[in-house]
Copies of this chain bind each other. A is one copy, B any other.
Amino acid sequence: MDYAAANVSERRFLPPRVAVSTVAFALRPPAEGANPHPSESEPHNITLWLPLVRRTRDPFRGQWALPGGPLTWNESLSDTSRRTLADTTGASPRYLEQLYAFGEPERSASDQRLVTIAYWALLTNDEIAGDTGVQTVSEPAAAQRSSGQLGNGQLSNVAWFSADSLPDLAFDHADIVNYALWRLRNKTEYSTVAYRFLGESFTLAQLRVVYEAVLGKQSDPANFRRQALASGHLRETGRVETGVGYRPAKLYSFSDVDHAASDTRRSS
C-alpha cells in the first residue's frame, strides 16, 4: 500500500488522495514602515492577513501553500482543517466553514490525483498563536529571504502574508485564496461573519473598522450604528471602553441567537 512510490503511469490505478486546506484570515495593521503617512483614500491601517506554509516535499517543494494535510481515517473534514491549522500555525479559529472541493484531475502535478476540500476561517487576535516560531512579512520577497532562520535560531516554515500581496502559491491555492476572499466579502455584506474577527466585547467603531477593512470602503458611522443595532445580533454589555481621550463608547457583545451551522452563499 505504498502509493507514494508509484510513478505517473500508474496514476490511473491509484485512488485519489484526499486533503484539506484552510484559508485562515486575520486582521492586522500593515507591516511596520509601510505607509507611514496614510492618505485620506486609505484611512485605515488594517488589512487582511493569512498564514502560509512552505512545502518541504514534492510537488511544489519550497513554494508557499495553504496550511493543510491529508484526511486521517477517524477525523471529520473540519477536524482535519482545525488540526492541520493548529499544528502548523498554532491558530484555533472559532469560525470555520467549508469553502469548496477542488478536484481537477491534473491539479496536483504528481503521481497521484489530489482532491482538496478547502475551508476558510476567521481568527480573532487571541486565536492566533503567540509570535514564537511564526513570523510576519509584508511582501513575498521578504518572506522568501527571511524564511527559515528566525532570530532565536529556530527553523520555521510558516509565515503570515498580507492577502493583497501573496507569493506564488503551490497547486491552485491562489484560486482557493481568491475564492475565499470573495466569499468573505460577499458574506460580510449580508451576514454577521465579520463579527468573528472581534473578541468577546467591542465597540461599534471597532466593528465598523472591521467592515471597512474587509469591504475596502468606508461607512457612515451614524448609519452603520443603526444598521448594526437593528440586526439584533448585538447585546450591550453594560461596560464602556476605557483609556480614550474622549467620550468612551459602549461595549457590545455578539449574541448568536440561532447557533445553527454557518452557511454559504454566492452570487451571479
Interface on A for B, CB 8 Å cutoff?
1, 3, 11-18, 71, 73-77, 98, 100-101, 103-105, 113, 115, 117, 186-187, 190-191, 258, 260, 262-268
Contact = CB atoms under 8 A, between A and B. Distances in A.
Given A15-B17, A71-B103, 6 more contacts: A13-B73, A16-B18, A16-B73, A18-B103, A76-B105, A186-B265
- Top 7 A-B pairs, shortest CB-CB distance: A265-B265, A263-B266, A264-B266, A12-B73, A77-B103, A101-B101, A265-B266
Contact of A115 (B71, B74, B104): B71
Contact of A263 (B11, B74, B191, B268): B268
B104 A76 contact: yes
B98 A101 contact: yes
15 contacts: A3-B15, A11-B73, A15-B17, A16-B71, A71-B115, A73-B105, A98-B100, A98-B101, A186-B265, A190-B265, A191-B267, A260-B268, A263-B267, A265-B265, A265-B266
Contacts of A187: 265
A108 to B, nearest CB: 12
Contacts of A263: 266-268
Q: Quick one: which of A12, A77, A191, A264 has the most chain B CB within 10 A?
A: A264
A195 to B, nearest CB: 13
A218 to B, nearest CB: 25
Given A17-B15, A18-B18, A258 B268 contact: yes
Contacts of A100: 98
Nearest to A265: B265
